[in-house]
Structure 1
Amino acid sequence: MPLTSSPEQPQPLRAIVAATKSWVERLGSVWVAGQLIELKRRSGAATHFLTLRDPLAEVSVTLTASTGVLDAAGPVAEGMEVVALVRPTVWSRSGSLTFECGDLRASGEGRLLAQIEQRKRMLQAEGLFDRARKQPLPFLPKTVGLITGEGSAAERDVLQVARRRWPGVRFVVKHALMQGTSCVEQVRDALTTLDRDPDVQVIVIARGGGSLQDLLPFSDESLARAVFACRTPVVSAIGHEPDTPILDLVADLRAATPTDAAKRVVPDVADERARVVQAGQRVRAAMLRLIDREAHVLATMRSRPVLADPIGPMNVQAGQVRELRARGERAVRARLREEAAWVEHALSRVRALSPRATLLRGYAIVSTEAGQPVDSTTIVSPGDAVVTMLADGLFRAEVTEVESRRESDG
C-alpha cells in the first residue's frame, strides 16, 4: 500500500527506509551469475566483501559474505566466473542497498579452474612438483623426442628453430591429438614409446595456444603422473606464457612457447663457437699473464748479485779457505818448532845423564856374568869372571887379585 505524504504531512525518514527495506526484501534470495572482480578477505573478521560484475554490461554490485561461505566455496579467485545466492537488503542506518551472499560457487571456466586448482594442490602434496626430483636436460642430446599435432605450427616451430640452432640435431616425432577426448590417451602412449627409446634423451610436448577447454587435457591427472614417472627428462611447451596447465608444473622444464622449447633443448652452434673462441682468448690471455709474471720473477732473480757473478762468492770463499789454510800451516809449523826445541832440550838432559856419556870420559861398567853390577870389592873374588862395558863395546876378564881400599885411605 503506497504511503501518503504532503508538504504539510511528510513521512518520517525511518518509515521510508523501513518501507524500502520491506519492498526490497520481498524479492528473497536469488541465484545470480557474474564475474568476481574483487575479493577482500579481512583477517580475523567474520564478514568479507566481494564485487561481482555482469560481463555483458557495465553493472557491478558489492556482496557481503561470511567466512564460512567463502571457505565452502573452495578455491575462488578474482577474474573467475561464479554463481552466488544473494538476498538484497537495505541497511536501516544508512539506507544503502546491499546484497548478502549465502552461497558461492565457481561456474563455467571458473569451475574448471577450481577443479584444476584442487588437482594441483593434491599433486603438489604428493611431491610431483618438487624441484629436487626434476631431471636436468642434457647439454647436447643425441636424439630429441617430440610429441605434437601433425602439421601443426608448434611442430614447425620446434623443428625449424632447433635445426637452425644445431643443424645436426635428430628428432623422433610422434603425432597425437592435442585437444579433445582422445588427447590424453594419445599423448600418454607417445610419451611411453619415446621414454622406452634408448636414443631419446629429452622429450618435448608442444602445442600452440588455445582456450581453457582446449588446454584442459594437459591438466589431466593421469598424464601428469605419466610425465612424473618418465626416466627421460620432459619439456612442457603448452600454449603461451600466460597458460599454466598442470603439465608445466610436473615436467622437468617448462618452456613459455614451442619456440622457447627448441631453444632450451639444443644449444646455439654460433653461441657455442663464440664461447669456445672467448674461452680460448681467456686461456691465451691467462697464459700470457703467467708467462709475463714468471719472466719478471726470472729477471728479478737474474739481477741479484749472486746470479750476476756466480763465481764471485766462490772466489771469496776460496780466498777465505786459502787464508785459513795458511794460518793453519803457520800454526802447525810454530807448534812443531816449539815441540822440536822441547825435544832437543830433553834429549840434551837425557844425554847429560846417560851412562854412555860417562863411559866416553874413560869410565867402565863392571858386572858379573849374571849381570849383577860390581860396585864393591866384596862382590868378586880372585878367579871370578867379570864383564867390562866400555863406551865402544865390552870385554870379559878374570879377576886375579882383589884389593880393598878403606874410606880413610882416600
Structure 2
Amino acid sequence: MSSQVVIPPDLPQLAAQTSADRPWPLALLSNKISEYVNRMSPLWVEGEVLQYTPRASSRVQFFTLRDLSEQVSVNCKAWTNVVPDEFSEGSRVILRVKPDYWVGNGSLSLQVAEVRFAGVGDLLARLEALRKKLAEEGLFRQELKKTLPFLPRKIGLICGSNAKAKDDVIVNAQARWPEVDFVIREVKVQGSASPAQVTAALAELDAMTEVDVIVIARGGGSVEDLMPFSDEGLVRAVVAAHTPVVTAIGHEGDRPIIDDAADYRASTPTDAAKRIVPEVAEEKRVLSEGLRRGRLAIDRRLSLAQSELETMMTRPVLANPQSFVEFREEDLGRHRERLTELMERRIDTDSSTLDAVRRHLRSLSPQSVLDRGYSVLRTKDGVVRDSSTLEVGDRVEALLASGRLGLDVMAIRSGDDSE
C-alpha cells in the first residue's frame, strides 16, 4: 500500500476546494484515487470470465470479468497457481479480489487471491428468480403467444455454425415439404457473445416481411452451456418480435427461460421441423379424403333435393297454380265487401253523433238567445249588466238577432223599482 499523498501547501487541500483558478494537477488526482482504492478491503465478487488465454510459462494470468446481467467488465490478474485448470472463458466464478488502481494510465484492475466456481445450484436459483420476475411482468401470458402459420413462405433459422441442430431442422422440414425455403443466420450458441448475436439475428429476420416464422435451435448441453438462452435481453427480444418464434433448445429436459417466452416450445430441433411445416403426404391424403366426402355429401344433397322437388310437384297448388290465385281472389272479394260495410256503418254512426253535437252547440250559442227576441246592450267598456253603471245621456249599442241599434239613455231605473 502506498503512503499517503502529501499535497503541496500552495494547492487546495481538498477536492471540493479546487476551482478553475486553482486546479489540481492530473498526477495529484490520480495519486489521490490510487490512495482511496488502496484503502479498500479485499472482497468477494461474482461474474463471467471473458478473454482468457492461459499462459503456461507465465507466473501471472490475465482475463476479463464481466457482470452477469449488466454490460460492465473489469480487467483481472492472478498468480498462475491461483487459477484452476478448468478455468476458461464463459465460466461463472466467485473471486476474492483486491482493487488496484494504476496511476500511470488511470486504469482499475482486480488482483485475484482466490477463485471459486459458481455451482449449478446457484445458477439454477438465479434462473428461477429471473423466470419468476419476468412471469410476474406478464411476459409469458398465453394471450401474447402468436399463431404459427400453416405453411410459411420462408423460415428464419438461427443456429450454430455447422451444428447438428441446423441439419435436424432443415432435413426433417424438407422431408415433410420439399419446397420449404430457409433464411439461415449462423451465430454463437454458447459463451458470453451468444446472447448479443442471437438477438441481432432475431431482429434481422423479424424485419424481413417474407419470413413467416423464426426458429432458434441448439443441441443439448449443460446448464452452463444453455445459459445464453436465459439472458434477460434475449428473452425480452423474443417477446417483442412481430414474427412467431419457435425455440428448440437442447433436449426434452432442458428448459431455458427463452422457452417460456417463445410462441411455441419444441422439445427438439426435429420436433420444431414437424411443427413449422405440414407433412405433404398427410396433407394430400386429407385433401383426397375431404374431396371424397364432399362429393358424397353433394350427391346425397342432390338426391334429397330431387326427391323433395318431385313431392312438391304432386301438390295441387303446383298441379294447378291458377286455383290458388282464384281461392285468394274470393277471399279478397269477401274482405272488400266486409270492409265497405263496416266503413258505411261507422260513417252513419259518426254522422248521427256529429248532428247531435251540432244541435247542442247551437242551443248554447248566444245567437239562439237573440233569435228569441232578446238583445244585448254594450258600451265602449263592454256588455251592460247593471243599470247603475250607466248615466242619462250615455250612448249604448243594442245587438239584435239581426242588426244593431244605437241608443241614448233617457232614463235609468234600478233593478228593485216596481215600474
Query: Could you say which TM-score interval applies, normalised by the shorter chain?
Result: 0.3 to 0.5
TM-score normalised by the chain length of structure 1 = 0.48
TM-score normalised by the chain length of structure 2 = 0.47
